[in-house]
Amino acid sequence: MTTKLNVYVADCQTQQAIPCADEGIKAGFPSPAQGYMAESIDLNKELVRHPATTFYARVVGDSMRDAGIGDGDLLVVDKGLEPHDGDVVVAFLDGEFTLKRIRMDAGSQVLWLVPENEAYTPIRVDASNEFVIWGVVTYSIRRQSRRTK
Tens digits of residue pLDDT in 128-144: 999 999 999 999 999 88
Confidence of residue 93 (pLDDT cuts 50, 70, 90): very high
Whether residue 32 lies inside any domain: the answer is: no
Number of domains into which the chain is organized: 1
Specify the pTM: 0.75
Catalytic residues: 63, 100
User: Are residues 42 and 17 in contact, defined by beta-carbon separation less than 8 angstroms?
Assistant: yes
Q: Which amino acid is at 117?
A: N
67 CB-near residues (< 8 Å, 6+ apart): 88, 101, 116
Quote the mean pLDDT of the chain: 82
Confidence bin at 84 (pLDDT 50/70/90): very high
Expressed as residue numbers, the domain containing 111 is 4-11+51-141
Whole-angstrom distance, CA of residue 77 vs CA of residue 28: 31
Q: What is the CATH number of the domain that holds 111?
A: 2.10.109.10
Beta-bridge partner residues of 127: none
124 inside domain: yes
Task: Give the span between the Cα atoms of 90 and 51, in whole angstroms.
Answer: 17
Residue 27 lies in a domain: no
Q: Please give the distance of CA 115 from its chain centroid, rounded to a whole number.
A: 14
Q: How far is Cα 31 from Cα 14, in angstroms, rounded to an integer? A: 34
